[in-house]
Amino acid sequence: MKKSLILTAAVSIISIATAGQVSESQQEYIARYETHALKVEPEDALINTDKEPNLKKGFVDLYNGKDLDGWTALGGTCTFEPKGEAIVGTCVPGSPNTFLSTDRDDYSDFIFSAELKWAVDSNSGVIFRGRTKADENGRVYGPQAEMEGLNSDRGWSGGIYGEAAGGWLYPLWLDAHKEARAALKEGEWNRITIKADGKSIKTWVNGIPAANYETDTYFEGFFGLQIHSGKEGEVHFRNVKVKELAPKKKRSLTDLFENGDFSAWTKTGGGPVSDAWTIENAIVQRGGIRPGGINTKAEFEDFELRFDWKISEGGNSGVKYRAQGNLGLEYQILDDQKHSDGKLPSHRSGSLYDLFAAPDDKPIKPVGQWNSGRIVAKGNHIEHWLNGTKILDIKIGSEEWRSAFSASKYAEHEGFGSGSGAIHLQDHGDKVWYRNVQIRKL
């Protein structure tokens, strides 16, 4: 018995010692990725020994099986099409990496799962807690669970790659990763599962443990299904779903129409909201003949506001904030192509009206489709987001602000844009729809 215990202990020590060693078949990659400075060194790598999470209960499907509502392609021109149970992504030669990204961009702690199948082999993967770079035409960046296809000898599917963020973060090159490197099945659906809980990120490929990485940088963002740049590639994605875990120390968003009525709102200037503003199936619509704008009864100064919006053909509206009456900073909503205001860059959708123009290449969806807006206001710092991409980043009081303000319609309003005020949904005489209007104080 004593000899058996000694032998078991010896085997355990050997296993621990070799787990952190780079496999003989992986030695060539040590020099190849020497410049990837953010990668976990072999001796420091945490090993995922957990069983894959249960994927049956509590999940929400991110693909509705009909269309790509709730998704926007970012970063390139590779195509994505809904085809029955799957989303089909196809490489377009000459295009940069392209990510079909969730419009919602605040996923933090979760279990995510998707199945991939290659019709034409190519590199792929899933961005999670993803972001976009405002100064690089909305380039997607952040951690990605690699799904590198079947023709790679490396076998790092399930590893963590820093897309536009330093390269490899957690390569699968250790002896402990041998089973994960062989997890992909040719000609079959292959499942990637990601669990993100605070700093901890773990992955599984077809149920086999892969990465165990800790981040100090990425804690919230969107999901993105990748089609990699190249000459060819076709990847099918199905069963794309997420189960959110209880976030740690995070204030929840408040739905400004949570009661299904206008009890938190008033007509601009006071009085009850006109009957021409309606709520049906949780969608707020402005209709009728000039019912007037509406304001929240509560005022907000530092906040994050999220909302989905849809404008009618030739329509004009806006979401104003820090508003006194109908005067406030405005996130413009417009049919850029058919409304006359579209001739002025600072009057187009997503712009800070009459002050700062949203970029021409903003990821906007056509008239009649839902877009996702987001406003962050904290002190003098203002951000406008559209479909998961930051399109404006402004500092009130900066030299750039002073120049734009002095040439704007607001020049005579001292202190404009500062202090607290209402959220205002504008009546500009055109049909407009809102849903998921949610706010969080910062």
Answer yes or no: are the C-beta atoms of 432 and 308 closer than 8 Å.
no
If DSSP codes are grouped into helix, strand and coil, which group holds residue 282? coil
- Cα four-point dihedral sign 240, 241, 247, 252: positive
Class of domain 254-441: mainly beta
Alpha carbon separation from 208 to 177, 182, 434 (Å, rounded): 10, 10, 43
Give the Cβ contact number of residue 337 at 10 Å: 11
- Half-sphere exposure (CA, 13 Å, Cβ side) for 266? 12
315-336 exposure pattern, b = at least 16 Cβ within 10 A, e = fewer: bbbbbbbbbbebebbbbbbbbb
Are 1 and 130 in contact by the 8 Å Cβ rule? The answer is no
The whole-number pLDDT of residue 51 equals 97
Q: How many CB atoms lie within 10 A of CB 124?
A: 26
- Name which of 125, 318, 108 is nearest 233 in CA terms: 125
The gap between the terminal CA atoms of the chain, to the nearest Å, is 62
**Cα dihedral sign, 69-74-77-78:** negative
Measured CA to CA, the distance from residue 252 to residue 246 in angstroms comes to: 10
pLDDT (tens, 9 = 90+) of the chain, 442 residues, equals 444 444 433 333 333 344 579 999 999 999 999 999 899 999 999 999 999 999 999 999 999 999 999 999 999 999 999 999 999 999 999 999 999 999 988 899 999 999 999 999 999 999 999 988 766 667 899 999 999 988 888 999 999 999 999 999 999 999 999 999 999 999 999 999 999 998 999 999 999 999 999 998 898 899 999 999 999 999 999 999 999 997 554 557 899 998 899 999 999 999 999 988 999 999 999 876 778 899 999 999 999 999 999 999 999 999 999 999 999 999 999 999 999 999 999 999 999 999 999 999 898 999 999 999 999 999 999 999 998 888 999 999 999 999 999 999 999 998 899 999 999 999 988 999 999 999 999 8
Tell me the C-alpha to C-alpha distance, in Å, between residue 205 and each of 10, 51, 172, 225, 315.
30, 11, 12, 16, 47
Phi, then psi, of 38 in degrees rounded to 5: -90, -5
Q: Which of 115, 203, 122 has its CA nearest to residue 158?
A: 203
* pTM over 0.85, yes/no: no
Q: Is 79 exposed, middle or buried (0-12, 13-18, 19+ CB in 10 A)?
A: middle
Of the candidates 24, 132, 4, 110, the residue with the CA atom closest to the CA atom of residue 60: 110
19: enclosing H helix or E strand:
helix 2-19
The pLDDT score that the predictor gives to residue 136 is 62
CATH superfamily, with its number, for domain 17-244: Exo-inulinase; domain 1 (2.60.120.560)
- Phi/psi at 112 (5° precision): -115, 145
60 beta partners: 242
In terms of Cβ atoms closer than 10 Å to its own Cβ (0-12, 13-18, 19+), residue 353 is buried
Return the HEC string of 38-100. Answer: CCCCHHHCCCCCCCCCCCCCCCEECCCCCCCCCEEEECCCCEEEEECCEEEEECCCCCCCEEE
Rounded CA separation 98/92 (Å): 10
**What is the reported pLDDT for 134?**
61
79-83/86-90 β-pairing: antiparallel
What's the pLDDT at 19? 58
**Fold matches, 17-244 and 254-441:** yes
Domain boundaries, the chain: 17-244, 254-441
Amino acid 388: pLDDT? 83
Name the residue with tokens 């960046």.
141
Which residue intervals of 54-102 are DSSP H helices? Answer: none
Distance CA 264, CA 424 (A): 12
The dihedrals phi and psi of 161, each to the nearest 5 degrees, come to -115, 140
pLDDT at 187: 93
Q: Are 268 and 325 in contact (CB under 8 A)?
A: yes
Helix (H, G, I), strand (E, B) or coil at 420: coil
Alpha-carbon distances of 386 from 87, 221, 348, rounded to whole Å:
22, 14, 12
Q: Are 80 and 236 in contact (CB under 8 A)?
A: no
Angstrom CA distances, 36 to 39, 53, 101, 167, stand at 6, 30, 26, 6
Give the pLDDT of residue 2.
Answer: 43
Query: How many CA atoms lie less than 13 Å away from 269 in the CB half-sphere?
Result: 6
